[in-house]
Amino acid sequence: MNLSNLPGGNNIKKSKRVGRGIGSGKGGHTVGKGTKGQKSRKGTKFTLGFEGGQVPLYKRLPHLGGFKNKRSKDVYAINLDKLNIFKDGDIVTPKLLREKGIVSYIPKDGIKILSTGKIEKKIILKDFLYSKNAKAKISKSGSKIND
């Protein structure tokens, strides 16, 4: 037993200095770096994200075009004044809006009616989403919401 290997002491062994000749403790031909290849040469520095010469991921990401938020809702919004094309007493559904060409498609999360404009007809609305102000305007005009 000697002072260099006492338990719990400062017994950290110094690393061998590779590539410094035969007398350095790790000398000789390949000096512990294997044979050939980029990592065996002197002066090679590998930074974080290095991919062997290929354009790294962090540089490719801006060209991939963002991401799709999984929590976002697919909602088509229309204004109240678009509903004035219907007659009094009509039952208006998203399917009917699609047939009339007011909306181009029916999204999976539904069609939302916004409060922009004024509704002048007394119609019955079915299977829509509504903004708070749109609900107030619809009930004020005499139209009904059936859900």
d(CA 137, CA 123): 12
Beta bridge partners of 92: 125
Q: In what order do the strands lie in the sheet with 111-114?
A: 76-79, 111-114, 129-130
CATH topology of domain 76-146: Ribosomal Protein L15; Chain: K; domain 2 (3.100.10)
Tell me the backbone φ, ψ of residue 60, rounded to 5 degrees. Answer: -80, -25
Query: What is the reported pTM?
Result: 0.55
Q: Which pLDDT tens digits describe the chain residue by residue (147 residues)?
A: 677 676 766 667 777 788 888 877 777 788 888 888 888 888 887 888 888 889 999 898 888 888 888 899 999 999 999 999 999 999 999 999 999 999 999 999 999 999 999 999 999 999 999 999 999 999 999 999 987
Residues 135 and 118: their CA atoms lie apart, in Å, by 12
Answer yes or no: are the C-beta atoms of 89 and 123 closer than 8 Å. Answer: yes
**Residue ranges per domain, the chain?**
15-67, 76-146
